Structure 1
Amino acid sequence: MRENQTWIQNEILSVLKTTPLCAENAERFTAAWLSQKLNYSRNFISQLLNDLVTQKQCVKINTRPVYYLSRSQLLAQGYSVPDSVSVLPGWRELEGYKTSSESDVFDRLIGKNGSLAYAIEQAKAAMTYPPQGLPMLLTGATGTGKSFLARLMVQYARSQGTLQENCPFVTINCAEYADNPELFLIHLFGYKKGAYTGADSDRQGFLAAADGGVLFLDEVHALKPECQEKIFLFLDQGIYHMIGDHDTWYSCKVRVLMATTENPQEILLKTLLRRIPILVQLPDLDHRPPTEKRELILSLLQKEQAKLGCSVLISDLAYHTLETAHFPGNVGQLENTVKVSVANAFLRRTENRLEIHIQDLPAYLGSGMTFDLLQCSDQTLHPLQSVAGETQVQSGYGVFNRALLHTFQSYLDRQMSFDSFLAVAYIKLEQYADTLIQDRWITPQEEIFRNLSGLILSLTSAHSSRRRLSNNKIKILTRYLADAARQRQQEFPLDAQDKETVEAFQALIQQRYPLEARQIREILELAVNTLSLSSTLLPTLDLFVFLQYFSRDLQRSSVPVVILAHGYAVASGIAEVANQWLRTQMFDAIDMPADCRFDDVTARLNEYIDSLEGCLELIILVDMGSLENISETLGRERKMNIGILSNVSTKLALDVGAMIMEGTHSLKTILEEACRRSVHRYEMIENQHKANAILAVCSTGIATAEKVLALFQSSLPATAKVELIPVDYASLHQGRMTSLSAQYHVLLIVGTLDAAVPGIPFVSVEELVDQKNMDVLDRCLKGILTEDQMRRFKRGIIKNFSLENLLNYLTILNPNRILVYVEEILDRIQEKCQCSFSGRTIIGLYLHISCLIERLVIGKEPAQYPDLETFTQRQAEFIQVVQDSFAPVCKAYNITLPVSEIGYLYDYIEQGSVANKADSVAEIQNDDFFDVHS
């Protein structure tokens, strides 16, 4: 008998080995199909198959139905399932043993096909994009694995040949330089001999050390703005100066990676962010799927087991405590927790065995238990091999559809009514919907899926007159479609019985629910084209259950009401609220977005009315405008009474609905009573308090205004209750002042140009530098600052509003060096023109000429001067004077002074106006460089 069984087992193996492993052949790996093929009973074949699993010749996929796969066939098709694994919970887990034709270091990452899939895809792109990769910023809380991912990126680039095997990987913890930005720049760029006291020889920096490799800036948020500026220049042009050598540009080929635990939009300069094309956020441990957390626990335990060389067992209670605990430090804290637990258990180890019990876990984990203690025992121990099975669970999509098919089969077998089937299906749907709603970590790829899904549902809902979906329902279905699009065909193979069940389900939907069938078909046609759904079989069934669930408690009204309103979802929103409150499917809606034509709305309304077969009365609620004349488009041949009410609102809809439900009012009475109840009332609450504010207005752009305010802020006492608001000069003459005055009590305006706002004093930057007109500050701030605070404020003004501080916004040029050049230029112009400028004019010219030189150095287009030809002819002598005066600085910086810029300089000197200076320097101040450093 045994020999006969062996012979049959060989026959089974022969069939399994010669059957290609694909979704279409899935049923051929079941006991039912093999029993028919070999002409033996199903129970007998099932027994032999399980024996083959025990003998390590087959792997069992423990789903419904159960599948049996030959190990030799798996190996031939690229699956490397270890002998220790005999049973897998699903097809998805089998994919985890798929071997790649090329080594991929990211296989070490748990979640590589889940929550970290997008991060890995972006990491590969950042390292391999020619010619020198792309800068990348990793964000995420402490312990999420940013540094580990950075190391894997370098290994990946080496394995792909993108970087040499021995290429450098230089890591800098920027937090060490948080209070010493000068030291950071010295270490980053290196220095030349004599750059500072103690610099006895040249020394290369981190950039030079990372040449040909990768520079990793960890905790980059700790860097001061001036350090970020220097990094920006290197990312932008690949060049830098060594400290102490401002004449020589150095370059190197370095891939730059950065990491931060903070929000980059809040702590990094905007220009630096714009030079980082790839930003990837790593999820917190609590935001990752539970299966990944279980895999991490198992992986960490297996790592300790290999290190100790003995078997590690963990109690049921200890394992579930780790599984459900919250770890603020994320994966890093979990790893430390496992190490501490193993270390505590190590004291009680035997020669070949180490047991982890609840008392071995850190004490703080005990306060976070969220599971039923009665279901766990500290005496029940699990070897790690059995824990591995618990780390794998079937997806919510698979669980829901298995339950759906099983329950519908019971209906087909006449074991339950169709209403009972729907009741069970609703319970399963609610469980599945909970998993969709609680999925808090969404990658950008999944976000695209959701956006497309939402658009599909909105489009189909907008064209459906009887099955309009509310925004909340669209949101849930959006998540479902995105989830269905992510599923792979092999994750959910259908055997012959499943296919028969699905076909019977589809036939029932088509026969009994033609309207729902049509809407489902419209949704899935779009989904196949945009989301690449591999099959519409299961989504058809799922969407039917969703639609039935959404309308399960709503009864159809005897008098339908359709709402028409302008706006994206105004009508839909009113209809949804009214239906829910009245518990009746009474209101339908037709939205009229801003770009929607009136003819399109009327066509949809007529289509809607045509679908109301046998309906004798209809009420139309409209909001305003052209919709109020909707009666002219309905035709006179309608065999029904139609009432139209304007000025629709939620209250009007509820009033109409309540009267329809009473059933005692005629249509005309409903319309008259609804109009009588629609009485408007108003109430006005005036602003009783306005915050004090000081405005900064600069003709040279809002960036300079922000700089002025920063200096003003540092002068004011911290307790001063005054809002500081930067304002663009042009906006004050375009209505901005009106809105500011309505919200704030504006005390004062400071800046480079008097906006001439009636009733509000103005103090110029030049006056603050010269310490003139200070009595205006006394009057404006009286009652807000004490005498002592006012004295300290004035001392702060003297300290902060110096010309050197105002020039600190220069991007490349050294303020101290440029001041020398500007002073020489002004001296030459005054000497050759035989004139003497006022103190205020000189201060303005220092700012004007400094910005002008800066803009020419960085190669920006010169300002356009009106009627340049006339100016050139009339002021040839002045042009020559200025060109001669600028000659040294032009030679020093290798720049050319355009005549158009000389024109603005002439206007400033001749008219004593700062307005023209604004045009001359506005471009540089709106440039990326200036936005950051202002």
Structure 2
Amino acid sequence: MDLKESLLLELEKRTREHELKENDLFTASSLASFFKMGRNTISQYLNDYVKNEKVIKVNTRPVYFFHKQALEEKYETNFNDCIYDSIASLKILMMKDFEKMIGYNGSLKSVITHCKAAMSYPDNGLPILICGPTGTGKSMIASLMYEYASHQGILKKDAKFISVNCSEYADNPELLVDNLFGHVKGAYTGADEDQVGLIQLANGGVLFLDEVHCLKAECQEKLFLFMDKGIFHRLGDNEKWYQSNCRLIFATTENPDQVLVHTLLRRIPIVVHIPSLSERPQIEKMELIYTMLMKESLNLNKSLCISNYAYKTILSYDYKGNIGQLQNVIKASCARTFLHENKDNYCIRLLDLPDYMFESMDTNILKNFDQNEKIVSVLDLNKEIKSDSPLMDLYDNLLNTFKLLEKEEETLEQIIERCKLLIQNFFDWLFFKKKNSFKSSNENYLLKMLDKICSIIMNKYSFTMPNTQIKIYSKVFVEYTKIVTDAQMWYSFHEEEVQRILSLLQEQYPRDYLIANELLENACLNLDIKMDKFMDVIMTIEMIKTQKEEKENVMGLILCHGYSTASSIADTVNQLLGEHIFDGIDMELKISIDRIAQLVDDYLQHKEPIQELMILVDMGSLEGIYKRIRLPKCNIGIIDMVSTPVALEVGNHIQQGHLVKDILEEIKNNFNISTRLIEEAKKQDAILTICATGIGVAKKISELLTNSLPKPIPAKIIPYDYHSIVENGVNDSIYSQYNVLMLVGTLDPKVEGTPFLPLENLIDNDQIQVLVDYVGQYFNEEELSEFRQNVMKNFALSNIVNHLTILNAQKVIDDVEEFVLEAQRLLDKKMDSTSRLGLYVHVACLIERLMLKQGIDEVEGMETYSLENKEQMDLIRQAFSGVQEHYSVELPDPEIMYILNYFQE
């Protein structure tokens, strides 16, 4: 293989492995260094490939090269040209479906979610009405819904998108009926042949009825039958029925309640409202302007720039025609520029704007107007992340690192370690590369303010933070203020991914998350800015590094009066033992015993659940603490007259895994000091809701049960992981935290000593007394009666299926019933009513999970089970075939195993 071919392969590799952004890896210099060749030679080879349409060239400084086929396959798009003036222009061409809508992940997020649901809903989607003022993008959303359905495989490739503007037929409703439904030959004078209507032409595709409010009432009524049953008559033929499976999208600029027949509205289950441009966030308006200018730049094949005054005017103008009017302003301004400019770079100036904009123009702009005003390249308006911001690079790198976790390529611990290194590299850049930069008075104020905040938080959460670390945090926040707009734009693009990461960190590292969140909230309050939620991710990871690993069995806490007595003893002992055993809380000399007890309580509240705690106190605190501390879920040992040798001895026992009771015995034998033991308080009662279908269903069962209570009760109703209970039984951590009264769910995990109440028993109401026996102690007779009625109402089969799934309850129950009857017939087994109802709920939830691609694919021992039960599994597949075809889902083997469990009970 010669050098030129190797060069193309290396470029392909880099294109596939790295994001499309300004990166030196895609320059001729980087490739020349890699191959140890001259830059001119490599550049010549690359330009040859550009001419042969194998490489895409971006004419910036420096010039970037990308492998064309690799880029097209990676981003599922096609590029007609091979030379572009910016990476940003490439990205515009790469946008797909709803990504083309500015605000798709921001102000329009909810709207687009509903639009996706309308197109995806089985079998033929749901009719949807899009409301909003003129020019807000209703027609564009409708066409993007069609694109989305096509790309997702919901519609066939040859499916059509047919758009009708009903306002054109406002004075001739008969013509609209004819165009929609078609006619037969002789239906009216001039009907010389059969004519297919738009509804039939759109069969299998999408029919968009814009300005639907212009339809007369009788025209709206003619749509009823088609919307209900998918059938219609052609004009002039009332005997033959025609059929179409098109999806319907309606749009109106008016209030639908005032202009549409209510019987039509009732047939449209999804109604969305598009906000006007003035209601959209400023950052989205900036992005709209940027995107429109970039598109005009591509159309003109010229670089565009804009004056500062012109940009501010376009940004601040109140557009009555919304996005449509903004687009017209951009096009008109570019057209004027095109007439009087004769250069490679076109520049939009204030005087190029439409005349009517000057009437409402900011007087300050007119007063200070200068023809030699500041000029800005359109590329510089790009508010997407730029590579010249190290903090924004950190955002990108951290997000990409967490994607390795989603791909299951690395564990969470490995991801956290990678992220720590990335954050530390950024901190190094801040501390060393910017060390000699000028420090403003604002930065000095921020450092002092942050020092006070950290002191309060360290005291509250009982940990220490070096001064150098506080200085770094102040520098981070200062750096953030410089790129706050970029950061918030970035967050709007990645909000869902960030929220998933935050949820994971909050679940796995609750204490670190709380500390980071409190630190940021206080910093934002004093800085008078609002940081995006990805800063919570960064600071939580940083706190994970700050907080030392603590012993799982016994925690150590030292309480002493004085400025740094407790923390000094704790630090000394931790260093001698080579492990973080103790936290220290320094107390004021005049602090009350009640306040000391409160400090200990706060300390425990922000820890992981622990069972054993050793408290070492100074002289005079023991009796007061002993009388006031009664903390649940924890055995507490208290030792008086703390000193470094005593703490060292206790820490040594903790290291060896000794429990509180045994440690106290040893200390009493070796030291002449007082000790006390506070036995674990009674655990709180709990009822666990579980479901083999998933934790999401368990949460919904918990909600239904909680909503059935006439008043709050001391016992907690907790949704919990079914598989964790099956695997661990009474040894699961939940049993150490709560007194588990019973389990309520769809499938019995068979935990010895813990009663299980099948969900179907609540549906059938034949064993509600089992539940009453456990919660009845909290209610009087009147409340018990209300509880029974609430359970009967909330746990009716149709209600619970409707609550647990997004599907139509009655429809899914009918489909499930057909499956259950067929399964019983094929297996030659009759189920009792209890098992049958349980299977109804299980399969209803299963169908939804399969539709959402959340089926269980792997279960330990599945291979052996499949061999031993092959015949029965094949019969279940056969019985499920109708459901499979109806909902376009596939049934994995583990799910069949769970279904068969119902027949084996």
TM-score range, shorter chain: 0.3 to 0.5
- Between structure 1 and structure 2, the one with the greater Rg is 1
Q: Looking at both structures, which has the greater relative contact order when contacts are Cα pairs under 8 Å and sequence separation is at least 6? A: 1
TM-score computed with the length of structure 2 as normaliser? 0.41
Superposition TM-score, scaled by structure 1 size? 0.40
